[in-house]
C-alpha cells in the first residue's frame, strides 16, 4: 500500500522550494566572458598605467608598438595603442624623462637613449598612417603626432627651438611625411586648417622646414614639389602687421628680439621657402600650379628679391598659350604694386588675342585681367582701337559665351575712349584721308585698313577702320547674341555694363536660359508622317531612293 506522507516532510519540502525561489531572486546574473579584443584593450590600458607609474615598466612601450604595427589586421586595437603611447610620450617629455643630463649615470643615459629611440619608432610608425585610404586613421595620426610635437615645442626655450628646427624632431618628421606622400592631400588640408592658419609659430616653422627640405637636391623630386605646392597653396593668411603675431602653438617667445615676433622675419622665411621651390627643376605643370596662386599665395610674401619673381613671370609670359594667360595677373601685379617696368606689356598682351583664347578654360579669368589692364583712361586711342578691333574680328569665329562679353566690353571701352567712336560712324568729309584715297567708295566700297598681322598695336591702323564685324553679329544665329550686338548701333545713353554679369557663360548656360523662358504663345506645328522613305507607292524607288542607289554605285 502506498506510504503516507507525514506532515513534517510536507513542510520540509515546501520550505526547500521557498528557499530555492528566494536564492534565485537574490542571485546576481552571470557576466558574459570577456572577448579577446576586450582583454587586449584592457591590457593596453594596464601597460600605459604601468609605464607612467615606474621606469621599470618602460619595456611595455615595445608591446604597445607591436599593436600599432598590426594596424591592417586590428585597426581598433592599433588606434587604442597609438593613443595610449601618445599620452605616454607626452607625459615623459613633460617630465623631462627624455632629456640627457650631464650628471646622469650610464644606466640613466641608456634609458634616455632607449626612450628617444622608441619615440622615433613611434613617429615613424604613425607617419605611415599619413596618406592612408582611411581618412579617420590619417586624421588620428596627424592629431596624435602634433600633440606630441606640442609637448616638444613647449619645453624650455633652447630645447623648444631645437624641436622646431632639427631634422629628427617630431614636427620636422611630420612635415617630411606630408611632403613625401603624394596621397596625403587631406592630411595637408587638415594640417594647414588646424595648425598653420591658426598658429603663427607653426606657419613660420613650416616655411622654414620647406626651405631646409628643398635645399637638399636629393629631395627635389617632381612628386615632392607637387606636394609642397599643394601645401603652400592652402596657406592664405598673410600677416599684415606685427600686432597680428599673437597665436602660438608652443610657448610664447620670451625675448622681444625673437624672429617669431618680427613681421619682416615671417615675410623673409616665407620668401626663402618659395625661392627654394623656384630653384628646383620645375616642369610645365609645376609652373602652371605656381602661376595659378601667384597673386594670392606668393607675391604678398615678397618684399625683396622681386627680380627673381619678375624673371619667372617674364619667362612664363613669353612662353605664350595658357601659361602666358596665367602669368598675366602676376605681371600686372608687379607693374601696379611693385613699380616694375615692362615696356612690352601691351604688345605682349595684344599677341595673346587669338582664336584659342576665346575657347580656353581660362577665358573668364583672362577677360577679368584684360579689363583691369585696359581700365586706364590714359591709354593711347590707337592702342585701345587695336584691342577693340582685334576682339571684333575674333568674334566672327567665337562661341556665343565669349561674344556676350565682347560686345558689352566694347561698349564700355568706347564710352571711356570717345576718340574711338569714329570706328562706329565717321561722317563723310572730302579732306579726310580715308575718303580722299577712296573717292568712289559708295560704288566700289573700300578695303579695311586694319592689319591683323601687325604685332604692334600702335601700328595696326585699327583707328582708321570700322567695327563692321559687330554689325554682322546683329544677324547672329543665337538670339541673345544678335540682340546684344544691336546695342552698338544705338545711342550711347546707357551706363557702363557690369561685365561680371556676362562672364562664365557657355553653350549650356545659354541653352538653359533659352529653354527656361516661358512661351507666350505655343507654336503651331503641322507635319505628315510619310509611309515610305525611299520607295514609291506603286513599287520601285522614288527620287530619293534613286539618288541613293546612284551614290552607292558611284562609290
**Position 364 in a domain:** no
* Domain identity same for 424 and 481: yes
Q: Does residue 408 sit in the same domain as residue 451?
A: yes
The pLDDT value recorded for residue 384 is 94
Q: Under 8 Å CB-to-CB from 459, ≥6 apart: which residues?
A: 451
Residue 514: other Cβ atoms inside 10 A? 11
Note whether 401 and 508 are same-domain residues.
Answer: yes
| pLDDT at residue 40, as a whole number | 83
Check if the beta carbon of residue 420 is closer than 8 Å to that of residue 385: yes
Contact 395, 473 (CB under 8 A): yes
Q: Are residues 398 and 501 in the same domain?
A: yes
Q: What is the pLDDT of residue 266?
A: 94
The pLDDT, as a whole number, for residue 480 is: 82
Q: Span 355-360, mean pLDDT?
A: 84
H or E stretch at 464: none
**Residue 454 and residue 387 in one domain:** yes
Residue range(s) defining the domain that contains residue 409: 381-430+444-515
* Of 411, 412, 373, 407, nearest in space to 391 by CA: 407
Residue at 403 is within a domain: yes
Tell me: do 422 and 543 sit in the same domain: no
Under 8 Å between Cβ of 140 and 172: no
Least confident of 89-98, 313-322, 505-514: 505-514
What cell was used for 147?
A: 600633440
- If you average pLDDT over every residue of the chain, what do you get? 85
Q: Does position 22 have pLDDT exceeding 70, yes or no?
A: no
Give pLDDT tens digits for 197-251.
999 999 999 999 999 999 998 989 999 999 999 999 999 888 988 888 989 999 8
Of 1-5, 77-81, 439-443, minimum mean pLDDT range: 1-5
pLDDT confidence tier of residue 441, bands split at 50, 70 and 90: low
How much is the average pLDDT of 56-67?
91
Verify that 510 and 538 share a domain, yes or no.
Answer: no
Contact 154, 253 (CB under 8 A): no
Between 374 and 341, name the one with better pLDDT. Answer: 374
| Same-domain status, 408 and 476 | yes
Q: Flag whether 228 is in a domain.
A: no
Q: Is 371 exposed, middle or buried (0-12, 13-18, 19+ CB in 10 A)?
A: middle
Average pLDDT for 465-494: 86
In a domain, 306, yes or no: no
pLDDT higher than 50, residue 194 = yes
Q: DSSP code of 541?
A: B
Whole-number pLDDT of residue 36: 61
Give me the mean pLDDT over the 6-18 stretch. Answer: 45
Model confidence at 334: pLDDT above 60: yes
Distances (CA, A) of 128 to 142, 178, 210: 10, 10, 20
Residue 476 lies in a domain: yes
1 — pLDDT class (breaks 50, 70, 90): very low
Same domain, 477 and 545: no
Q: Are 297 and 236 in contact (CB under 8 A)?
A: yes
Predicted confidence at residue 29, as pLDDT, reads: 52
- Give the C-alpha separation, 179 to 176, whole Å: 5
> What angle (nearest 5°) sits at the alpha carbon of residue 12, between those of residues 10 and 15?
110
Contact 360, 366 (CB under 8 A): yes
- Chain-centroid distance, C-alpha 389: 36
pLDDT digits 0-9 by tens, 104-128: 788 888 999 999 999 999 999 999 9
Is 199 exposed, middle or buried, given 0-12, 13-18 or 19+ CB atoms closer than 10 A?
A: middle
3-state secondary structure of 124: helix
What letters, b where the CB count within 10 A reaches 16 and e where it falls short, cover 265-297? Answer: ebbbbbbbbbbbbbebebeeebbbbbbbbbbeb
Q: φ, ψ for residue 179 (rounded to 5)?
A: -80, -30
In a domain, 146, yes or no: no
- CB–CB of 40/77 below 8 Å? yes
pLDDT at 21 over 50: no
Answer yes or no: do 505 and 532 share one domain. no
Asked if residue 547 and residue 472 are part of one domain, the reply reads: no
Specify the number of domains making up the chain: 2
3-state SS string over 321-336?
HHHHHHHHHHHHHHHH
Does residue 212 belong to any structural domain of this protein? no
Inter-helix orientation angle 36-53/75-94, to 10°: 10
Whether residues 484 and 548 share a domain: the answer is no
C-alpha distances (whole Å) from 331 to each of 156, 268, 280, 372 are: 46, 21, 22, 12
Cell 544665329, residue located: 477
| 3 — pLDDT class (breaks 50, 70, 90) | very low
pLDDT of 249-296, one tens digit each? 998 888 888 999 999 999 999 999 999 999 999 998 999 999 989 888
Average pLDDT over residues 413-438: 76
Task: Tell me the CA end-to-end span of the chain in Å, nearest whole number.
Answer: 122
pLDDT of residue 17: 46
pLDDT range class, residue 87, cuts 50, 70, 90: very high
Q: What local confidence, expressed as pLDDT, does residue 2 receive?
A: 45
Q: Which residue has the higher pLDDT, 476 or 14?
A: 476
Average pLDDT over residues 382-404: 91
Q: What pLDDT, on a 0 to 100 scale, did the predictor assign at position 510?
A: 73
Is there a domain that residue 408 lies in?
yes
What span, in angstroms and rounded, lies between the C-alpha atoms of 317 and 230?
A: 23
Amino acid at each position: 500500500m502506498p506510504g503516507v506522507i507525514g506532515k513534517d516532510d510536507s513542510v520540509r519540502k515546501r520550505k526547500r522550494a521557498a528557499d530555492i525561489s528566494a536564492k534565485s531572486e537574490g542571485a546576481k546574473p552571470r557576466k558574459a566572458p570577456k572577448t579577446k579584443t576586450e582583454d587586449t584593450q584592457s591590457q593596453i590600458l594596464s601597460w600605459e598605467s604601468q609605464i607612467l607609474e615606474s621606469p621599470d615598466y618602460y619595456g611595455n612601450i615595445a608591446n604597445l608598438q607591436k599593436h600599432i604595427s598590426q594596424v591592417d589586421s586590428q585597426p581598433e586595437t592599433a588606434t587604442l595603442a597609438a593613443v595610449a603611447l601618445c599620452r605616454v610620450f607626452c607625459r615623459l617629455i613633460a617630465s623631462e624623462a627624455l632629456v640627457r643630463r650631464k650628471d646622469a649615470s650610464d644606466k640613466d643615459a641608456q634609458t634616455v637613449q632607449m626612450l628617444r629611440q622608441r619615440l622615433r619608432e613611434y613617429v615613424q610608425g604613425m607617419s605611415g598612417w599619413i596618406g592612408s585610404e582611411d581618412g579617420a586613421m590619417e586624421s588620428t595620426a596627424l592629431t596624435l603626432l602634433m600633440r606630441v610635437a606640442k609637448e616638444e615645442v613647449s619645453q624650455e626655450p633652447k630645447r623648444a627651438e631645437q624641436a622646431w628646427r632639427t631634422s629628427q624632431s617630431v614636427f620636422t618628421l611630420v612635415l617630411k611625411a606630408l611632403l613625401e606622400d603624394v596621397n596625403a592631400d587631406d592630411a595637408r588640408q587638415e594640417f594647414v586648417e588646424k595648425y598653420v592658419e591658426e598658429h603663427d609659430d607653426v606657419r613660420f616653422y613650416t616655411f622654414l622646414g620647406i626651405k631646409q627640405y628643398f635645399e637638399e637636391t636629393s629631395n627635389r623630386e617632381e612628386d615632392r614639389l607637387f606636394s609642397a605646392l599643394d601645401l603652400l597653396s592652402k596657406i592664405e593668411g598673410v600677416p599684415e602687421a606685427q600686432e597680428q603675431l599673437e597665436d602660438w602653438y608652443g610657448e610664447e617667445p620670451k625675448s622681444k628680439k625673437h624672429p617669431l615676433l618680427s613681421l619682416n622675419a615671417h615675410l623673409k622665411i616665407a620668401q626663402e621657402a618659395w625661392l627654394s621651390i623656384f630653384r628646383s627643376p620645375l616642369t610645365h605643370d609645376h609652373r602652371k600650379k605656381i602661376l595659378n596662386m601667384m597673386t594670392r599665395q606668393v607675391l604678398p610674401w615678397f618684399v625683396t628679391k622681386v627680380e627673381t619673381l619678375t624673371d619667372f613671370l617674364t619667362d612664363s609670359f613669353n612662353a605664350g598659350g595658357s601659361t602666358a594667360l596665367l602669368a598675366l595677373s602676376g605681371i600686372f601685379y608687379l607693374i601696379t604694386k611693385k613699380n616694375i617696368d615692362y615696356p612690352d606689356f601691351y604688345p605682349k598682351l595684344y599677341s595673346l588675342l587669338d582664336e584659342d583664347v576665346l575657347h580656353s578654360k581660362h577665358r573668364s579669368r583672362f577677360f577679368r585681367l584684360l579689363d583691369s589692364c585696359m581700365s586706364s583712361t590714359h591709354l593711347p586711342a590707337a592702342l585701345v582701337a587695336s584691342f577693340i578691333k582685334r576682339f571684333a574680328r575674333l568674334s566672327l569665329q567665337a562661341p556665343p559665351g565669349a561674344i556676350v562679353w565682347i560686345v558689352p566690353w566694347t561698349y564700355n571701352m568706347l564710352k571711356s575712349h570717345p576718340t574711338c567712336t569714329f570706328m562706329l560712324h565717321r561722317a563723310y568729309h572730302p579732306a579726310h584721308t580715308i575718303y580722299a584715297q577712296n573717292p568712289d567708295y559708295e560704288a566700289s566700297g573700300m578695303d579695311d585698313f586694319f592689319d591683323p598681322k601687325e604685332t604692334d598695336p600702335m601700328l595696326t591702323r585699327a583707328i582708321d577702320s570700322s567695327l563692321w564685324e559687330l554689325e554682322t553679329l546683329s544677324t547672329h544665329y543665337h538670339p541673345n547674341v544678335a540682340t546684344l550686338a544691336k546695342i552698338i548701333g544705338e545711342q550711347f545713353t546707357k551706363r557702363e555694363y557690369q561685365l561680371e554679369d556676362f562672364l562664365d557663360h557657355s553653350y549650356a548656360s545659354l541653352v538653359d536660359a533659352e529653354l527656361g523662358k516661358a512661351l507666350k504663345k505655343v507654336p503651331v506645328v503641322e507635319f505628315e508622317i510619310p509611309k515610305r522613305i525611299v520607295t514609291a507607292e506603286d513599287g520601285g524607288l522614288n527620287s530619293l531612293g534613286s539618288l541613293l542607289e546612284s551614290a552607292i554605285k558611284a562609290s
